[in-house]
Amino acid sequence: MNRTRWTISFAALLALVFLVGCGSAEKKDSDKLSIVTTVGMIADAAAIIGGEHVEVTGLMGPGVDPHLYKASEGDVARMAGADIILYGGLHLEGKMGEVFERMQTRIPTVAVGESIPVERRLRVAGKKGNVQYDPHIWFDVSLWMLVTDRIAETLAEQDSANAAYYQANAAAYRDSLQVLHDWVLERTALVPEDKRVLITAHDAFTYFSRAYGFEVRGLQGISTATEAGTGDVIKFADFIAKQQIPAIFVESSVPPRTIEAVQAAVRSRGFDVQIGGELFSDAMGNTGTPEGHYLGMVRHNVNTIVDALTGKASVELATEDSDITHE
């Protein structure tokens, strides 16, 4: 759909939705707060904190790239019928800014990532010299705890009758996140200093590297909107072969072709780099699997990274890990 048609149909839809009343676009259970989120990690936190008093719809499922995602007419209708909209912000949903702006005039629309204090955010080079921050905050579990606080606060504001319930759920979830954060620190400490290099398709892991002591390099920069060029592939291949980095990683929400091109280029330089596995970067795993929740997603990523960079089989680690439960 071209931009003009999109704008017209968007305006028409909004007019229709607001004329007949906000709740009419999507039928919802009136006893529950209806929450619409973008990425799965936010949907997961909202569902855990909101429990029985909320109904959560995540617009972006497994494998979906938030940087490139455009809201469909169905998404707009879902958002227009919601009580609360939660999104990442910090330009994570690069193509949805206009939709959020319009929604904001009628519905509480919260960029949860913007609850991170500026001094704890990572600054990145924005377009035309604008100040911009890395939106991939969920890779530092201690930052994600601040996001869950913001979600609990929003739910409590919109549904004060159940505020204590939301705060209690948030406190319990915070404890699980603290356990997870400590576990990640312990697990990543197994990787020797000279192997702490994480090479992925795009620059999603910078908060991870800061929190857990890795050097990260992404082929495509902070957003997947820019493609990696042949020059980048050569530069990366030279670096990997020279440093003898054992493994590089593909991401579930980014096509694997650039990482595969790097692997081929490294091999042509006589060093056998492995694809260390698939990381869930900007989207979680399938519903019904441990990786379909934030806790399981982080654990999967950390185990994949540590196993590949230390050359250990994941089976060995499975029994040790079993004392930490998935949601």
As a residue count, the chain comes to: 327
> Taking contact as CB under 5 A, which single stretch among the options 50-58, 165-173, 277-285, 302-310 is the one that binds Zn ion?
277-285
Specify the residue, 26 or 291, whose C-beta has the smaller distance to Zn ion. Answer: 291
Asked if 291 interacts with Zn ion (CB under 5 A), we say no
CB of 174: closest distance to Zn ion in angstroms?
A: 25
Specify the residue, 66 or 81, whose C-beta has the smaller distance to Zn ion. Answer: 66
CB of 203: closest distance to Zn ion in angstroms?
A: 7
Give the strand pairing for 84-87 and 109-111.
Answer: parallel
Specify the residue, 91 or 300, whose C-beta has the smaller distance to Zn ion. Answer: 91
d(CA 18, CA 97): 20
CB of 178: closest distance to Zn ion in angstroms?
A: 25
Question: Helix, strand, or coil here: 133?
Answer: strand
Q: How far is CA 35 from CA 27, 84, 86, 118, 295, in A?
A: 13, 5, 7, 26, 21
CB of 72: closest distance to Zn ion in angstroms?
A: 20
Specify the residue, 83 or 282, whose C-beta has the smaller distance to Zn ion. Answer: 282
Binding residues for Zn ion restricted to 177-236, rule: CB under 5 A = 204
Phi/psi of residue 280, nearest 5 degrees: -90, 105
CA 1 to chain centre: 27
Give the relative orientation of helices 163-188 and 40-50 as an angle to the nearest 10 degrees: 130
CB of 208: closest distance to Zn ion in angstroms?
A: 12
CA 80 to chain centre: 23
CB of 134: closest distance to Zn ion in angstroms?
A: 9
Specify the residue, 57 or 224, whose C-beta has the smaller distance to Zn ion. Answer: 224
Asked if 282 interacts with Zn ion (CB under 5 A), we say yes
Query: Which residues 6+ apart lie within 8 Å of 313 measured at CB?
Result: 307
Number of residues that bind Zn ion (CB under 5 A): 2
Binding residues for Zn ion restricted to 120-149, rule: CB under 5 A = none
CB of 221: closest distance to Zn ion in angstroms?
A: 9
Phi/psi of residue 37, nearest 5 degrees: -125, 165
Specify the residue, 81 or 285, whose C-beta has the smaller distance to Zn ion. Answer: 285
d(CA 83, CA 3): 28
Of the candidates 88, 90, 94, the residue with the CA atom closest to the CA atom of residue 131:
90
Specify the residue, 100 or 280, whose C-beta has the smaller distance to Zn ion. Answer: 280
Which residues contact Zn ion (rule: CB under 5 A)? 204, 282
